[in-house]
Structure 1
């Protein structure tokens, strides 16, 4: 049963003192950064709750865990953000009932609003992944997307995941950066940002330059991101961490190589120019390009390239016991 303690309110406008303190406190940095981003997060990352993202979420789940056991009865999303992963998995038939948790009150608020708008049976709590506020043996499934790399003690969080899972229950975490993938993605992002912000200073391209105050704000956000992104992962090391936490049937797979080399410059360019300059045609180019390259990665490159070279790692495992 969830705790009756009142959750804190979102704080989208942190003070300078709070921001300074966050540089030495990754958990506070995560709260401030994600509260600030909560209202625009879905738009920034092109998150939707339609067939496009339902297919993406269920595809990630199936890639590492298969499709046996669907639908799970009750599922928890750890570090849910706006609910992207769990809500789309529920719409795709993976789970019937859900709970969302995040350190950021703003993110939990948006996730619950999204769930209500979709008519999904979801509750939520502001929660530390290392101290999940639910009883032992509560959930059939625990999921997360791009969350483990924000958690200071990943093994402790996975031990908590196993505690709240029912015997035989499964966890699936997707969207985690590999060590090598994170290196080339960041370098590509930095180069794209530098090129775009400098080229748009030129008079013929000046209408493509975002206002300076928006660029400054984006730069501050990028700086704080250096605090909230704590880990990158080697797939084999992540498997060992999950086993050390007590998981069984552990498996990690990787995805996105050519898709990441394409996607990171695209996302960075989108952040550096005015939104109104990029219409539906650009959105389709970006999505279709990523989709085609993801097919190449999955069906060709994954068969010949070491898994460590791919950008994303996904991991699954089960709690001992059960049928």
Structure 2
């Protein structure tokens, strides 16, 4: 039987498709992420060098307690491949497979893997019905994906199905319920302030992105209300994984002061022309985020309840 070809990317959705997406979160995810695929790495300052390799490996170690190595790893909701490709470069896995609902994201991830010389294949796939056989992978990973999946419990069961006995899963970058609330409020306030000040103050007009770009960003932000389905309580996320059949399950959280700084910075960067900021700004933002992340991990995590932090990470194992 001939394998069914993956669908082509659709970076320019019609008005009818966008209207339908408001009632269909999976379609919304496809349209939104196909639209973002070509600019996603730039938007989120994603790279495949030492900076992001270190970030990815550190997130993995924080969640899992080790860094492998693992033979064959699958990434769910891979986007452009940020998490898996940087983990592979960091020696966590030697062979990779990427899946995403968005054809544009799968294509971007495979292009990035080819450019990096990594052994990676890819499929357009639903995380609730992973198109691989039982007991295929030594490791399943994801970054900022679980909150997009309508049925997280079904996805967890699928993850355990495709893992080999004793295999590990690690998911990072998921929003906590409290963290998502304050991050969104900070982002909305920063967007409103930046776009209005750069419009109202003539000397700052050159810092305002063209109106058509701002309108497009606003439309994309509106779709986020559909594609961002869940926020998580760390305790409940652990219970979800255990109910799916996982063992040695552990959730940890990170980013409190780093999130309070980072979300306004990211929003400001999205609201002004990138060329206005330059390398000096990028290094200031990154170094400040690093220092605040250290503060969160070494000091605040010891005294602040974990559900107040922005990110939750979870790891677990398939029973032998």
Relative to the length of structure 2, the TM-score reads 0.99
Mapped partners of 1:8, 1:59: distance in 2: 34
Give 1:171's aligned residue. Answer: 169
The offset of 1:4, in angstroms, is 2.2
1:85-164 maps to which residues of 2 (within 5 A)? Answer: 85-164=83-162
Mapped partners of 1:63, 1:197: distance in 2: 37
SS in 2 for 1:193: helix
Give 1:181's aligned residue. Answer: 179
The offset of 1:204, in angstroms, is 1.7
Post-superposition Cα deviations, 1:82-108, rounded to whole Å, max 9, x if no partner, equal 000000000000001000000000000
Mapped partners of 1:30, 1:107: distance in 2: 11
Mapped partners of 2:3, 2:86: distance in 1: 27
1:278-317 maps to which residues of 2 (within 5 A)? Answer: 278-317=277-316
Query: What stretches of structure 1 move > 3 A for 4+ residues in a row?
Result: none
Mapped partners of 1:24, 1:150: distance in 2: 14
Mapped partners of 1:117, 1:272: distance in 2: 30
Give 1:249's aligned residue. Answer: 248
SS in 1 for 2:190: helix
The offset of 1:64, in angstroms, is 1.1
Query: Gaps spanning 5+ residues in structure 2: where?
Result: none
SS in 2 for 1:316: strand
Give 2:74's aligned residue. Answer: 76
Give 2:192's aligned residue. Answer: 194
SS in 1 for 2:248: strand
The offset of 1:112, in angstroms, is 0.3
Post-superposition Cα deviations, 1:38-75, rounded to whole Å, max 9, x if no partner, equal 0000000000000000000000000010226x210100
The offset of 1:5, in angstroms, is 1.7
Post-superposition Cα deviations, 1:129-184, rounded to whole Å, max 9, x if no partner, equal 00000000000000000000000000000000000000000000000000000000
Mapped partners of 1:73, 1:28: distance in 2: 33
Post-superposition Cα deviations, 1:187-234, rounded to whole Å, max 9, x if no partner, equal 000000111011101112111111111110110000001100000000
Query: Gaps spanning 5+ residues in structure 1: where?
Result: none
Give 2:21's aligned residue. Answer: 22
SS in 1 for 2:224: helix
1:261-280 maps to which residues of 2 (within 5 A)? Answer: 261-280=260-279
Alpha-carbon RMSD:
0.8
SS in 2 for 1:130: coil
Mapped partners of 2:206, 2:147: distance in 1: 37
Structure 1 stretch 59-68 or stretch 18-27: which is displaced more?
59-68
Mapped partners of 2:3, 2:69: distance in 1: 28
